[in-house]
Amino acid sequence: MSERERKAVVKVTRGLHSLVYRFDPAYALGLSVPPVACVEAASEGLFLVSAPGEEFGVLAEPGKGLVVLAEQDGTLHLTIRAGEENGSLQAALELTRIEAPRLSVAAPAGRQRAPLASGATEFLIRAHVSLRGDLSAARGEWLCGPALPGRVEGLEIRGVGADCPVEYQVATGGRTGGWSNWIAAGTYAGSRGKALPLIGLRLRLTDAAPADLVLRGEALFLGGSPVSRSGREVEFTGPTPLDPLVGLKLDMALGSQDARATGLLGQQDNRPGNRLRVFRRDTPEIGAA
């Protein structure tokens, strides 16, 4: 092998992948001419798809890429050739499996779930939680909540297999805070990554929901105990106007069944002996002056 080229072998697992020639600041600034990467051979069961107009199996410069279809595990054999006399042979190639990102869910599979009430719609709640990203929970299950509270910055209620007859409003603090307009299910309400947690939530069933159907939910706010609400329209707020929402559980039920099951639920007890307090100590930044 000459000094103008080098060989490389890339292992590929069964599936669909992209092979991309990553950018390098040295090449982007014109400090050096980038080498050319060529796929010289592929093991049995591996197939390449190059972009239209591109030479097959060749990544001529940073930013170029191709698709690798692997019907079984195998290898790609590449040759890296210098782009000029005594040029660099440094090329960063990235092989990535092509698949949709998997969302974190609030409960494991195989759990026992309450049966769906007659006329109700299956739905899930997706929320952005501070420091934890996007989480999802099925109806009747806690999103965050007492076991693992987290500051909810925004949420979306989305029907599964059918439209969900629910509308909601969210309230945020700060100078630009307040209650949002009523938002239809399937639309995100709130913010992401702006340190603006929700401090209130209102939900209501639309006219499309059967007349005997009600919402039944529980919410946890920082500094309070879980509060339950039920009805065609419900509202959740914390013990004080600034306490953030750190947990939510929501379901649909028949009005008669809900009345028997909940009794006097819906009354929030914020006496000191019944309050949950969570304290966090800020960690100083390393290297701060």
pLDDT given for residue 31 in this prediction: 67
Domain co-membership, 157 together with 260: yes
The single residue listed with the structure tokens 């000191």 is 272
pLDDT given for residue 111 in this prediction: 58
pLDDT given for residue 275 in this prediction: 44
pLDDT tens-digit map of 53-76 = 999 999 999 899 999 999 999 999
Give the total number of structural domains in the chain.
Answer: 2
Yes or no: say if 276 and 224 are a contact pair by the CB < 8 Å rule: yes
Domain co-membership, 256 together with 212: yes
CA distances to 38, 105, 185, 247 from 166, rounded to whole Å, are 55, 21, 6, 19
Domain co-membership, 109 together with 19: no
Taking alpha carbons only, the member of 129, 178, 157 closest to residue 249 is: 157
Chain centre to alpha carbon of residue 207? 31
pLDDT given for residue 21 in this prediction: 92
Look at residue 283 and tell me if it is in a domain. no
Look at residue 289 and tell me if it is in a domain. no
Domain co-membership, 181 together with 42: no
Domain co-membership, 33 together with 114: no
Domain co-membership, 111 together with 84: no
Look at residue 287 and tell me if it is in a domain. no
Q: Which domain holds residue 61?
A: 5-97
Instruction: Cite the DSSP H helix spans in 228-288.
Output: 255-262
Domain co-membership, 119 together with 85: no
Domain co-membership, 60 together with 133: no
In angstroms, the CA 271 to CA 258 distance is 26
Domain co-membership, 136 together with 268: yes
pLDDT given for residue 283 in this prediction: 45
Q: What is the DSSP letter of 273?
A: G
- For the chain, residues with pLDDT lower than 70 are 1-2, 26, 28-31, 101-113, 256-289
Chain centre to alpha carbon of residue 67? 26
Look up the pTM and report it: 0.58
Look at residue 136 and tell me if it is in a domain. yes
Averaged confidence pLDDT in the chain? 85
Give the number of residues written for the chain: 289
Determine which helix (DSSP H) or strand (DSSP E) holds 69, and give its type and residue range: strand 65-70
CA distances to 99, 133, 182, 261 from 104, rounded to whole Å, are 15, 9, 27, 31
- The span from the first CA to the last CA of the chain, in angstroms, equals 53
Domain co-membership, 179 together with 252: yes
Look at residue 12 and tell me if it is in a domain. yes
Look at residue 286 and tell me if it is in a domain. no
Domain co-membership, 138 together with 175: yes
Look at residue 204 and tell me if it is in a domain. yes
pLDDT tens-digit map of 94-132 = 999 998 766 555 555 455 667 899 999 999 999 999 999
pLDDT given for residue 263 in this prediction: 46
Cα–Cα–Cα angle for 216, 220, 222, nearest 5°?
165
Listed residues 40, 74, 97: the one ending a domain: 97
Encode 117-142: b = buried (16+ Cβ within 10 Å), e = exposed: beebbebbbbbbbbeeeebbbbbbbb
Look at residue 189 and tell me if it is in a domain. yes
Domain co-membership, 128 together with 22: no
Listed residues 80, 97, 114: the one ending a domain: 97
Yes or no: say if 16 and 47 are a contact pair by the CB < 8 Å rule: no
